[in-house]
A = this chain, B = another copy of it.
Amino acid sequence: MIAGIDIGGTTSKIGLVQDGRVLQQTRIPTTGHADDHAFADALAAAVLGLLKDGGQGDLRAVGIGAPNANQFTGIIEMAPNLPWKHDVPLARMMQDRLGVPAVLGNDANAAALGEWRYGAGQGFDDLLVVTIGTGVGSGFIVNGKLVLGSAGNAGELGHMTMAIDGRSCTCGRKGCLETYVSIRGMRQTYAELADDLAVLKQDGVKCIADAAHQGDTAAIRTFEETVRWLAVGLANAVAVTGPRRVVLFGGIVRSGDLLLAPLKKRFHEALLNIYQGRVDLTVSALPDDDAALLGAAALTTLDIT
């Protein structure tokens, strides 16, 4: 039995994972704790609560996916979207509280591992998994290993500069892919194109998809622009590591007619000729709620050399 933990900006999920399945899960708020130690206490209590209810076996390890996590050090490094602006050594903190080994990894890399081991990436030793949400995360598998790089956190496709002097990004730089392609980016694109911003009164991008389906021109063009940037961003990633499959993950990519179908066309147009017919594009095969937990659990089986 492995505990998988997925740390999000507002909510953190905790699950018990066995044989590639999430047996039980719960969630706690990420915010509102006195400090990072109190948050770690709450996470540990949630794991123990699930174990008490489940009682099917001993806890062997804890895998944690989090933004800005350095897999080599087990430290969350000054994550802009989490409540703690200092370094949080969460792997060690959970290990101390639960008495089993804990591995911390970047959340997008955890999602990539989950897809690779249990989802649409099974059997692909060269794989790219892109998570589109508030931002754009990604994880690269190359030669059958997760790419970690010098910061234990590689594969930041969302922070590839797509337009020098482009839109300002939360990372402090300009023109990053995620400033155009994420939920935040799409809402900005809509705001730039629309005369009337009533549609944006609802959160997220479902409101933009609904408007597009009703014929709202700015909403339709927002999806077209998003597809255009994403196609080139993915083609750039393919030019560098040459994956055989690209798996997209996140609610937005389920807008099949608005996003996936035109993206497939644009992506193949944007590919360098040597990759034509050598890479396919597909959508995650895992339930949204399970993927992050499975991926976090999969971190514990990762061979870090």
Chain B residues with CB under 8 A of A155 = 240-242
Chain B residues with CB under 8 A of A238 = 149
Which residue on B lies nearest to A175, using beta carbons?
Answer: B232
Size category of the binding interface on chain A: 35 or more
The answer to whether A45 has its CB under 8 Å from any CB of chain B is no
Give the docked Cα–Cα distance between A175 and B256 (Å): 29
Are A242 and B147 in contact, CB atoms less than 8 angstroms apart? Answer: yes
Are B240 and A240 in contact, CB atoms less than 8 angstroms apart? Answer: yes
The answer to whether A154 has its CB under 8 Å from any CB of chain B is yes
Q: Which of B243, B244, B272 contacts A159 (CB 8 A)?
A: B272
Chain B residues with CB under 8 A of A142 = 142-143, 145, 147, 149, 241
**If A145-B143, A240-B140, A273-B171 touch, does A163 touch B163 (CB 8 Å cutoff)?**
yes
The answer to whether A198 has its CB under 8 Å from any CB of chain B is no
Chain B residues with CB under 8 A of A68 = 274
Interface positions of A from 131 to 169, Cβ below 8 Å from B: 140, 142-143, 145, 147-151, 153-157, 159-164
Are B164 and A274 in contact, CB atoms less than 8 angstroms apart? Answer: no
**If A150-B243, A241-B241 touch, does A156 touch B272 (CB 8 Å cutoff)?**
yes
The answer to whether A237 has its CB under 8 Å from any CB of chain B is yes
Which residue on B lies nearest to A242, using beta carbons?
Answer: B149
Chain B residues with CB under 8 A of A18 = none
Interface-centre pick from A243, A272, A275 (highest chain B CB count, 10 A): A272
Give the docked Cα–Cα distance between A244 and B278 (Å): 29
Which residue on B lies nearest to A271, using beta carbons?
Answer: B173
Q: Which of B171, B239, B273 contacts A172 (CB 8 A)?
A: B273
Interface SS of A by simple majority: loop
Give the docked Cα–Cα distance between A66 and B189 (Å): 43
Are B272 and A173 in contact, CB atoms less than 8 angstroms apart? Answer: yes
Interface-centre pick from A145, A148, A239, A241 (highest chain B CB count, 10 A): A239
Q: Which of B157, B229, B235, B278 contacts A240 (CB 8 A)?
A: B157
Are B140 and A239 in contact, CB atoms less than 8 angstroms apart? Answer: no
Chain B residues with CB under 8 A of A243 = 149-150
Which residue on B lies nearest to A80, using beta carbons?
Answer: B273
- Closest CB-CB distance, A260 to chain B, in whole Å? 21
Chain B residues with CB under 8 A of A173 = 270, 272
The answer to whether A126 has its CB under 8 Å from any CB of chain B is yes
List the interface of chain A (C-beta within 8 A of B).
68, 70, 77, 126, 140, 142-143, 145, 147-151, 153-157, 159-164, 171-173, 228-229, 232, 235-244, 270, 272-275, 278-279, 305
A-B contact pairs, 7 of them (CB 8 A): A149-B242, A153-B242, A153-B274, A154-B241, A160-B236, A160-B239, A241-B241
- Beyond contacts A147-B240, A148-B242, A149-B241: 16 other A-B pairs, Cβ-Cβ < 8 A, are A68-B274, A77-B274, A142-B149, A143-B147, A147-B242, A150-B275, A150-B278, A151-B278, A155-B241, A156-B272, A161-B235, A162-B164, A164-B228, A164-B232, A240-B240, A240-B241
